[in-house]
Amino acid sequence: MDINQRILPTPDMIRAARGYLNWSQHELGQRCNLSKVSLVGIESGRQHPNHETLKRIASVFWNEGLIFLPEGGFRVENSLIQVLEGSEGVKSFFNDVLSVAENKGGEFLISGVRDSDFARIVEEVGIRESYVKKMNELFEKKKVIHKNLAEKGSVERPLQAYSEYRIVPDGQFENVPFYLYGNKLAIILWGENIKIICMENSELATAYKKIFDLAWKQSTPLEA
């Protein structure tokens, strides 16, 4: 869609998009060169920005892949989100993780994935041995840091030697697991046909990393 034909956001849309990206009013203001006071007025509907100001606000969100819809709300551009399903989807996901690990390295953070579920899905698609071997190699080269928040009683002997485990407090194990790698966030939905929703968005990944880091600090190291 041509940029001049894109929908400009209402106050509700601005609040929703800002919340999705986990931005404060101050942060959004800095990005579009507006004061926090002005944004408070715009989001509350008390202040009515001119077309150019509204377009400046919208452009900040467009740059993050958010497209406002005529019926209200917004969608994320397809280039930033993928839905991977079934065995081929699982293969594509883990190949992408390995690609990021090899080319960029960094932290790889897992929350809410049971070792037994991980072992099962990678075994089913025939990539467990190659994936674990490659991650171990990258870990030994100090190219990756791998952290895993696990459920109490679910890990007797870590299946992943390259991963550091911590046990989350009782009752706080996430029902919907996520995997953070690079600037990508993957939400894993279990079921008869596994579904992995991958979102490439640095702001969203940063927000989830803060959630992970807080949980990590509150969790207990796995005893050897």
- Position 206 pLDDT exceeds 70: yes
Domain ranges of the chain: 3-76, 80-221
Residue 208: CB partners within 8 Å, gap ≥ 6? 178, 180, 185
**What pLDDT was estimated at residue 54?**
93
**What pLDDT was estimated at residue 158?**
56
Could you write out the DSSP letters of every residue in 116-151?
HHHHHHHHHTT-HHHHHHHHHHHHHTT-EEEEEEE-
**What pLDDT was estimated at residue 1?**
45
Other beta carbons within 10 Å of 186: 21
Structural fold of domain 3-76: 434 Repressor (Amino-terminal Domain) (1.10.260)
**What pLDDT was estimated at residue 2?**
47
Residue 142: CB partners within 8 Å, gap ≥ 6? none
Over range 139-144, report the average pLDDT.
90
Q: What is the CATH number of domain 80-221?
A: 3.30.870.10
**What pLDDT was estimated at residue 185?**
93
**What pLDDT was estimated at residue 192?**
74
Model confidence pTM above 0.75: no
Residue 90: CB partners within 8 Å, gap ≥ 6? 84, 121, 122, 124, 125, 127, 194, 196
Least confident range from 51-60, 114-123, 208-217: namely 114-123
Other beta carbons within 10 Å of 48: 10
Please tell me the distance from the alpha carbon of residue 99 to that of residue 16, in angstroms, as a whole number.
Answer: 33
**What pLDDT was estimated at residue 124?**
80
Residue 164: its H or E element: strand 163-167
**What pLDDT was estimated at residue 155?**
67
Over range 153-166, report the average pLDDT.
72
Structure tokens given for 184: 């990508």
- Position 22 pLDDT exceeds 70: yes
The SS3 of residue 73 is coil
The SS3 of residue 21 is coil
**What pLDDT was estimated at residue 174?**
66
- Position 107 pLDDT exceeds 90: yes
The SS3 of residue 178 is strand
